[in-house]
């Protein structure tokens, strides 16, 4: 499909710079399978969902992966650690990487140093810290910065973002971007969902840098989807099977949860099985959904794989109309913005 079909104009004033307080007071657009959208707040979820439904969260934890330092020649360095490639070695995006040479030494704040082990054609670099991953993660918790996307205050974090850019379900270190739909949940809302007999389970997808990037190809067939690491544990499989058995609906909290569920279902003939691995599933209109009934998600970037995904889930024309409504009604967009609850539209 032509990528221009997924473009839209968004006033900069609607890009949220801070989350709603409290989190579950964020506005929510509910789009049923048939009929028009309705305006709510996230705290209304217990009455919008049904007893027996299952919310599936991504329990990845954002690591403070942006670090600042100096080259041995004295120039400034900013690096975003993407993932570990081995003991002490991390793949990173770095500003000024073209001026680096293999073997160059880098010194970072907090008495940490690294060697440029390899420089890749895609602009990434391998940094050898000479530390076990657990020790480096400990250092990051004390000296690293939260990797905010550039549309939030130019990517510059502050003390509030340590909590604001982490979900209430965060358990497993590994993401460099938050699974933003889950940012709307509070302990109080989770308790109210439990009282309403709405179940909860978790899976893991460590969100990477490619998730929020726009597609630069002219046609979706020319886009190469990024790969992310994830896991669907046995206890989540049991919860999913139990939900189906009682006639409940599977509600993905965020596109990352949906991608794991659909990856597993498509690889196993619609069934859920324990899984651990990588996925580069690219969902565009025409995709046959086999796992998820409803999707709770934020409002996404134009021309992004995420807007393509929600258009596949609820219909391109309906999503174009929903986003036009959200813009006209001054809903807040992107990571710290408002949310929508979408019922899956059956493919024609």
Q: What is the CATH number of the domain that holds 312?
A: 3.40.1780.10
Q: What percent of the chain has pLDDT over 70?
A: 97
Is the same domain home to 181 and 110? no
Cα separation, 117 vs 274, whole angstroms? 35
pLDDT of residue 348: 41
Cα separation, 186 vs 174, whole angstroms? 22
Is the same domain home to 70 and 53? no
Contacts of 90 (CB under 8 A, 6+ apart): 81, 82, 83, 84, 126, 127, 129, 136
Q: Is residue 321 part of a domain?
A: yes
Is the same domain home to 55 and 71? no
The domain that holds 119 is classified in CATH as 2.40.10.240
Is the same domain home to 178 and 299? yes
Last residue of a domain, one of 83, 110, 144: 144
Is the same domain home to 235 and 266? yes
Is the same domain home to 198 and 235? yes
Is the same domain home to 221 and 329? yes
Q: Is the pLDDT of residue 209 over 80?
A: no
Is the same domain home to 112 and 28? no
| Residue 90 contacts residue 137 (beta carbons within 8 Å) | no
Q: Give the number of domains in the chain.
A: 2
Is the same domain home to 56 and 96? no
Is the same domain home to 230 and 256? yes
Q: Is the pLDDT of residue 347 over 60?
A: no
152 vs 225: which has the higher pLDDT: 152
Q: What percent of the chain has pLDDT over 90?
A: 83
Q: Is residue 150 part of a domain?
A: no
* Percent helix, strand and coil across the chain, each to the nearest 5: 30, 30, 40
215 vs 15: which has the higher pLDDT: 15
- Report field, pTM of the whole predicted structure over 0.85: yes
100 vs 20: which has the higher pLDDT: 20
Residue-range definition of the domain harbouring residue 139 = 66-144
């Amino acid at each position: 499909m032509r990528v221009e079909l997924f473009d839209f104009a968004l006033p900069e004033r609607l890009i949220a710079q801070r989350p709603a307080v409290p989190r579950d007071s964020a506005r929510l657009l509910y789009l049923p399978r048939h009929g028009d959208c309705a305006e709510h707040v996230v705290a209304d979820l217990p009455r919008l969902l049904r007893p027996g439904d299952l919310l599936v969260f991504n329990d990845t934890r954002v690591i403070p992966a942006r670090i600042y330092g100096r080259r041995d020649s004295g120039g400034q360095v900013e690096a975003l650690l993407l993932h570990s490639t081995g003991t002490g070695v991390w793949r990173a995006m770095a500003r000024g990487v073209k001026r680096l040479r293999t073997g160059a030494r880098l010194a970072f704040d907090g008495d940490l140093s690294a060697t440029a082990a390899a420089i890749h054609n895609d602009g990434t670099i391998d940094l050898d810290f000479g530390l076990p991953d657990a020790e480096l993660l400990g250092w990051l918790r004390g000296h690293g910065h939260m990797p905010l996307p550039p549309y939030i205050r130019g990517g510059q974090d502050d003390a509030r973002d340590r909590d604001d850019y982490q979900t209430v379900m965060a358990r497993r270190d590994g993401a460099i971007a938050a699974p933003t739909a889950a940012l709307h949940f509070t302990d109080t809302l989770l308790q109210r969902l439990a009282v309403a007999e709405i179940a909860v389970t978790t899976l893991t997808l460590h969100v990477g840098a490619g998730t929020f990037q726009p597609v630069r190809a002219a046609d979706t067939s020319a886009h190469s989807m990024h790969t992310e690491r994830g896991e669907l544990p046995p206890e989540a499989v049991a919860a999913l099977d139990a939900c189906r058995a009682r006639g409940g609906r599977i509600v993905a909290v965020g596109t990352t949860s949906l991608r794991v569920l659909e990856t597993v279902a498509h690889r196993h003939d619609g069934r859920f099985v324990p899984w651990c691995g990588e996925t580069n599933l690219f969902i565009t209109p025409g995709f046959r959904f086999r796992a998820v009934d409803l999707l709770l998600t934020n409002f996404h970037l134009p021309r992004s794989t995420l807007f393509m995904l929600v258009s596949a889930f609820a219909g391109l024309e309906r999503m174009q109309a929903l986003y036009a409504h959200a813009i006209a009604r001054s809903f807040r967009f992107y990571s710290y913005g408002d949310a929508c609850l979408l019922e899956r539209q059956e493919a024609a």
